[in-house]
Amino acid sequence: MFDVKTHNGCITIHNKMTGNHRTFKIRTQNDKSKFAPGSRVVSLLTGPDREDYRNWQSFGFANPSGIVVFRKYADTEFAKFSIMLNNKAQYEALGCEYMIESTCRVCNRQLTEPESIRSGIGPVCAGRP
Ligand SMILES: [Zn+2]
């Protein structure tokens, strides 16, 4: 059962009306981290390689009450992403699909594309372009 209040890991939200999808990650900051040690931080995947930390943009905290966007992003699309993460049932009713982290059953790499998550096989292993 997915809940942003307790989930650490990745979530891809697929908006079936627009065809857009976004991948988010919630992780706990290392105790020795310079920024917010011990807090849970949510970030957006902004590049093709999710193993590269430079492709993740942090934008809020995952607090016990839900996602709270950093104040500097209050008037950006990150605020909308926070609302979508906090209100799964409501956005599912509007046609969004929430896909919780999964890995390719052939090679174990992380899957981020909606099609890959549904089929359980990544584009390379499935021979897709
Ligand atoms: Zn694979």
User: pLDDT for 21-31, tens place per residue?
Assistant: 999 999 889 99
| pLDDT value of position 92 | 95
Q: Has residue 9 got a pLDDT over 90?
A: no
Ligand 1 mean position, distance from CA 109 (Å): 6
Q: Which of 58, 69, 73, 70 is nearest to 28 (CA)?
A: 58
**Per-residue confidence band for 100, with pLDDT thresholds at 50, 70 and 90:** confident
What is the pLDDT confidence band of residue 112, given thresholds at 50, 70 and 90? confident
Expressed in angstroms and rounded, the spacing between residue 45 Cα and the centre of ligand 1 is 19
Span from the CA of 129 to the centroid of ligand 1 (angstroms): 13
Please check whether residue 50 is in contact with residue 23, taking contact to mean a CB–CB distance below 8 angstroms. Answer: yes
Q: 125 C-alpha to center of ligand 1: Å?
A: 4
- pLDDT, position 51: 85
- Which residues sit with Cβ closer than 5 angstroms to ligand 1, an ion? 104, 106-107, 122, 125
Ligand 1 centre to CA of 99 (Å) is 17
**Are 111 and 102 contacting, i.e. CB atoms less than 8 angstroms apart?**
yes
Give residue 45's pLDDT: 96
Cα 111 to middle of ligand 1, angstroms: 8
Please compute Rg for the chain using Cα positions: 15
- Model pLDDT for residues 43-96, shown as the tens digit of each residue: 999 998 888 999 999 999 999 899 999 999 999 999 999 999 999 999 999 999
pLDDT bracket for residue 118 (50, 70, 90): confident
Q: Tell me the two tokens of residue 81.
A: 């992403």
* Whole-number pLDDT of residue 2: 65
Distance 116 CA to ligand 1 centre (A): 9
pLDDT over threshold 80, residue 129: no
Compute the distance from residue 53 Cα to the ligand 1 centre, in Å.
21
Q: Give CA–CA dist 27/121, Å, rounded.
A: 24
- The pLDDT of residue 1 is 52
